[in-house]
Amino acid sequence: MKKNSLIFVFAGLCMLPFGSCQQGKQNSTVQDHAEALRHPADTSLIAVLRADQNARVKDSISILFKVVNPTSDTLQYTRYHTPFEGIISNFLTVTDTQGNEVHYKGPMAKRIMPPPADTYRRLAPGAEDSIRFDLKKAYHIDSAGTYILQYNSERVSGIANGQPIQITVKK
């Protein structure tokens, strides 16, 4: 068996189902599932971002990160490069309206690859996991303006990037 085949088999074994985690699970909304279904890969978990509409420069900026399973299968993802592991990676692309990327100021953790079995979470068909985090703890937002946020870590986590969102930060 070739080395690449062995790696593929090992990676597949690492993704076998491990206990389901219900932390942060909320009732899904029709809008989130409709958004998830618009993604071209209908066999994937989808990242959905939501933001409070009253964001101010001097305050924290609360972002809701959801992982939605629009499929009829139980799927899993690794917490790597998601807020479920804390803010220890640059898992978002944040830009202003001119396309300038906002500086990531959080830590960049090095991880074991492929991810160990205990980093995986299972998500039942039609279910979602969610968690809130403060955008300003990881991204340098110090002026009022409009920003575009996009999840960017599909290749690591196994969660499709989903649709970008726009937030307006006021003084």
Q: Which residues does residue 130 pair with via DSSP β-bridges, in sequence order?
A: 66
Residues of the chain with pLDDT under 70: 1-42
pLDDT of residue 90: 97
In residues, how long is the chain? 171
* Beta-carbon-side half-sphere exposure of residue 28 (alpha carbons within 13 Å): 21
Q: How far is 10 from 74, CA to CA, in rounded Å? A: 20
Q: 51, 31, 59: which is closest to 147 by C-alpha? A: 51
pLDDT of residue 130: 98
* 3-169 carries CATH number 2.60.40.2970: yes
C-alpha distances in angstroms, 122 versus 17, 30, 81?
Answer: 7, 21, 16
Coil, helix or strand for 98? coil
pLDDT of residue 54: 84
- Which pTM does this prediction carry? 0.75
pLDDT of residue 144: 95
Q: Which long-range contacts (CB under 8 A, 24 or more apart) does 4-12 make?
A: 10/114, 11/114
Domain ranges of the chain: 3-169
Q: 121, 137, 146: which is closest to 66 by C-alpha? A: 121
Q: Are 18 and 116 in contact (CB under 8 A)?
A: no
Residue type, 67: V
